[in-house]
Amino acid sequence: MSAYAVSFLTRMLEIYSPSGKEEEISNFLAEEMKSLGLHVRKDDVGNVIGETGKGKPTILLCGHMDTVAGTIPVRVENNQLYGRGAVDAKASLAAMVIASSTFVKEKFPGKVLVVGVVDEEGEGKGIKHLVKSGISPDYAIFGEPSGVENITIGYKGSLWLKITCETQAGHSAAPWLFENAIEKAFEVWRIIQELHMPQEKSESRFYSITSCLTKIKGGELSSKVPSKCDIYVDIRVPPPLKSQQVFDEIGRKIQQYQTANPKVLVRMKVKDLTDPIEVEPKSLLVRALSYAIRKVRSNTPTLIRKTGTGDMNVLGNALKTPVVTYGPGDSSLDHTPNEHINIQEYLDSIQVYREAIIRLVELHKKGK
């Protein structure tokens, strides 16, 4: 099994699959899942869905097939497997597929769904379509790099805004006569940057609101005072806040700014909005994964909360399903030219997924 597992992941890494170009890897995965005995189908957006077993509980293992753009030569060096997607997150998906296939010939008292979604690195159309399709698992594990001995139980939400500031144009030789739209956009940015709410914990990286100015567009090369400037802002929202609450508070602050600056028109547009999520540390799902990690790795797992936003947010909040994120790999290597996975950690994660599923069914049947 170890040789096959390494070969399987290697072949996945050799298929270039940036967001929007997942057809080749989806076809490969579908055929591989079939050869492993899973019942396989593809949905309208290209998600690949494998299934084994029947009855309750239904356990969803979900990873993504796409990667960011760019290639890395696929190779093994010092027990490390290099390639684009090795960490984020083809190793997790490969481990999930193999773990699921081990139940094909067993009388498994439940159903396992293993899904490879598209567009996770893009606009998330794969997971959004999966939610809309009516999927209703009892538990869900998302495959992202938590580290083989860690379980991710929380992600911040995200609020992506496009903010436009408009003013009257004028000659740059007399800038004191006119409001500069770029300068005003920076004033608005400072309002957002300094925003805090009573529900957050400002001393915590996870439980505080953070914001990042990601793009600026404005001005011309001619002798004009800029009359329009667009800024793009990525705001990360902690629980227990909702992203809409933060948006509403920003709207109130900007309305106050406009009142004080009547010559400036400010418009906001939401590009994306996702709520944060945090899982109860003593839930059956966390307990099952913790048991599996202790059994396979002989270490006590660490529960972590991440400042990013993932597919776990979308499905967990939409379906109110118990969810966690788990997978091998060091997430600091995501999207880097040095992306690689430790082969032993990858192999161990297969066993962790399997043992977690077995334990989760036991706990579910006992109702504990």
Residues 193 and 249 in one domain: yes
Pairing outcome for strands 210-218 and 139-142: unpaired
The structure tokens listed for 342 are 């430790």
User: Among this protein's residues, is 334 annotated catalytic?
Assistant: no
Pairing outcome for strands 80-82 and 228-237: unpaired
Could you tell me the mean pLDDT of each successive run of 10 residues in the chain, 368 residues long?
93 97 97 97 96 94 96 96 96 98 92 96 91 94 97 97 95 90 97 94 94 94 91 97 97 96 96 95 96 98 94 90 96 94 98 97 86
User: Among this protein's residues, is 14 annotated catalytic?
Assistant: no
**C-alpha angle with apex 100: 96 to 105, nearest 5 degrees?**
160
Short-list 114, 71, 70, CA closest to 93: 114
Out of 32, 66, 166, 345, pick the active-site residue. 66
Residues 197 and 177 in one domain: yes
Residues 130 and 166 in one domain: no
CATH assignment at residue 141: 3.40.630.10
Could you please report the per-residue DSSP string of 177-232? Answer: GS--HHHHHHHHHHHHHT---TTS-TT-SSSS-EEEEEEEEE--SSSEE--EEEEE
- Report the number of distinct structural domains present in the chain: 2
Residues 88 and 184 in one domain: no
pLDDT of residue 310: 87
* C-alpha to C-alpha distances, 145 to 110, 137, 261, nearest whole angstrom: 26, 22, 46
pLDDT of residue 1: 67
Residues 136 and 227 in one domain: no
Residues 117 and 176 in one domain: no
Amino acid identity for residue 74 in this structure: V
Amino acid identity for residue 88 in this structure: D
In this structure, are residues 327 and 91 in contact, taking their beta carbons and an 8 Å threshold? Answer: yes
Out of 32, 88, 119, 120, pick the active-site residue. 120
Residues 305 and 327 in one domain: yes
What is the domain extent for residue 194?
A: 157-274
- pTM greater than the 0.85 cutoff: yes
Residues 146 and 17 in one domain: yes
Domain endpoint, select from 257, 274, 291: 274
Q: Is the dihedral of CA 186, 255, 236, 83 positive or negative?
A: negative
CATH assignment at residue 248: 3.30.70.360
Ramachandran area for residue 159 (φ above 0: left; ψ -120 to 50: alpha; else beta) = beta
pLDDT of residue 368: 59
Rounded to whole angstroms, the Cα distance separating 74 from 52 reads 31
Residues 17 and 133 in one domain: yes
Domain endpoint, select from 246, 274, 302: 274
Residues 40 and 130 in one domain: yes
Residues 169 and 116 in one domain: no
Count of alpha carbons within 13 angstroms of residue 28, beta-carbon side:
18
Residues 73 and 83 in one domain: yes
Q: Is the dihedral of CA 120, 326, 111, 52 positive or negative?
A: positive
pLDDT of residue 311: 87
Domain endpoint, select from 274, 292, 327: 274
